[in-house]
Amino acid sequence: QVTLVESGGGAVQAGGSLSLSCAASGFAFSRYCMGWFRQAPGREREYVAGISWNGGVTEYADSVKGRFTISRDNAKNTVTLQMNSLKPEDTAVYYCSGDPNMAVLAGGVALTWGRGTQVTVSS
């Protein structure tokens, strides 16, 4: 059974930092590109960042470029999103998921979705 469990969310003031973690199980993690997505109230889920199976390639949405960093640990089956210089517009529920193909993942087609973790940034 594929399981994705996100954690690390919380409430911070603008300019603060958070580190999100995603624990994955039930699939060949090291063979999958992984990504972080977010969904704000009343908005569609959007792709935030992605990382290739070996960590050699990363990509980011323009809105987070330079502020967020995605990384992975294939030995622990985890993917992390370090978020710095947070802004109120980063407020959303954050999800992780994966696909063998980065382009497919960026299009929102993914394995499954966990419950997500809430990030709230106040001004």
Query: Mean pLDDT over residues 106-123, rounded?
Result: 91
pLDDT score, position 110? 80
Three-point CA angle 21, 26, 31, nearest 5°: 75
Rounded alpha-carbon distances, angstroms, from residue 120 to 12, 90, 94, 123: 6, 7, 10, 10
Residue with tokens 């949405």: 61
Q: Which of 10-14, 15-19, 103-107 has the lowest mean pLDDT?
A: 103-107
pLDDT score, position 114? 87
pLDDT score, position 109? 82
Judged by DSSP in three states, 118 sits in: strand
Task: Compute the residue count for the chain.
Answer: 123
Q: Is the dihedral of CA 39, 43, 46, 48 positive or negative?
A: negative
Model confidence pLDDT, tens digit, residues 28-87: 999 999 999 999 999 999 999 999 999 999 999 999 999 999 999 999 999 999 999 999
pLDDT score, position 45? 95
* DSSP for 34-90, written as a single string: EEEEEE-TTS--EEEEEE-TTSS-EEE-TTTTTTEEEEEETTTTEEEEEE-S--GGG
Percent of the chain with pLDDT over 70: 100
| Cβ–Cβ under 8 Å, residues 35 and 51 | yes
Rounded alpha-carbon distances, angstroms, from residue 53 to 7, 57, 101, 120: 21, 8, 9, 29
